Amino acid sequence: DAGITQSPRHKVTETGTPVTLRCHQTENHRYMYWYRQDPGHGLRLIHYSYGVKDTDKGEVSDGYSVSRSKTEDFLLTLESATSSQTSVYFCATRQVNTGELFFGEGSRLTVL
């Protein structure tokens, strides 16, 4: 399995505060992704990266930003958290030759 770790695994915060979730990989995969999982919606893509400093928006990117300064790390930032951003967030990396995604354990964020 790809070595993908997310931190923090659980976080409770208040509306209006900034939040950063970190994803770290040890597989040297070029592509990295942030998804959110909500009941009835499956996993929806927030942002993704196709290389260092190369990122693009997914289908639910409003209110989120990302940064990737190193191959290993992909950060997701909520500049001013809202209750609608309460969710479970998954980071994933992609194996180029098969297209398979490898996922982190998920980060549960609660915005009060």
Partner 1 sequence: AQTVTQSQPEMSVQEAETVTLSCTYDTSESNYYLFWYKQPPSRQMILVIRQEAYKQQNATENRFSVNFQKAAKSFSLKISDSQLGDTAMYFCASEETSGSRLTFGEGTQLTVNP
Sites of contact with partner 1 (CB under 8 A): 31, 33, 35, 40-45, 48, 50, 58-59, 88, 90, 92, 94, 98-101, 103, 105-106
**Measured between alpha carbons, how far is residue 48 from residues 18, 70, 90, 111 in Å?**
20, 14, 12, 23
Shortest distance in whole angstroms from residue 19 CB to partner 1 = 19
Instruction: Compare residues 59 and 62 and give the one whose CB is closer to partner 1.
Output: 59
Contacting residues for 94 by C-beta, under 8 A, at least 6 apart? 29, 30, 31, 32, 33, 100, 101, 102
Shortest distance in whole angstroms from residue 38 CB to partner 1 = 10
DSSP 8-state secondary structure symbol assigned to residue 96 = T
Instruction: Compare residues 85 and 93 and give the one whose CB is closer to partner 1.
Output: 93
The DSSP-derived string for 34-75 is: EEEEETTTEEEEEEEEEETTEEEE-TT-TTEEEEEEETTEEE
Shortest distance in whole angstroms from residue 69 CB to partner 1 = 21
Instruction: Compare residues 31 and 72 and give the one whose CB is closer to partner 1.
Output: 31
The residue whose two tokens read 């939040």 is 19
Shortest distance in whole angstroms from residue 80 CB to partner 1 = 26
Instruction: Compare residues 22 and 108 and give the one whose CB is closer to partner 1.
Output: 108
